[in-house]
Amino acid sequence: MTTGTTTRTTIHGNPGDTRILPAGLKVRLSPATNLPGSAEIKWWAAPVDEEAEGWPTATLAWAADVGLGLGEGDVKVDPCPTVIDLRTPVRSERIRSFQPPWRTVFVYRCPTCGAEHRVGASRFLGRRPTPEIGGFVCGR
Ligand SMILES: [Zn+2]
């Protein structure tokens, strides 16, 4: 789940029928992938939980559907908290290096946000690079 905090007060709706989303509010975010990339709206915001702390009641009803549209500067997105298992890379890559001339990196994809991470191999079975044991926080 992607979360963030609103950085400024935003006004939604049409003239005469507007709802306000205040600044400093914790929100749950869904990427606005249903809109073209050029659209100003980048996220749909909804309450993090059922208590919807700090949400104005009138605005809450609007968020129940798709969410309230927020642009790039309207919200500070929290770093992704998902822990990625080091034993499960999606693939490995050989990258050109100086000495030795090739290095292996393992590529991981975050199941929550889709971010790709590359981790250089530092563990070997014989001469074969092997994924590490443990995990790391996505943080993107
Ligand atoms: Zn992530």
pLDDT of residue 99: 83
Give me ligand 1 centre to Cα 138, in Å: 5
pLDDT along the chain (140 residues), means of 10: 94 89 95 93 94 91 88 95 96 90 94 92 92 94
Give me ligand 1 centre to Cα 126, in Å: 32
Give me ligand 1 centre to Cα 115, in Å: 6
DSSP structural state of residue 115? -
Give me ligand 1 centre to Cα 92, in Å: 19
Q: Which amino acid is at 102?
A: W
Domain boundaries, the chain: 2-77, 83-137
Q: Which amino acid is at 80?
A: C
Q: How far apart are CA 45 and CA 128, in angstroms?
A: 46
Q: Nearest to residue 138, comparing CAs of 85, 59, 64, 75?
A: 85
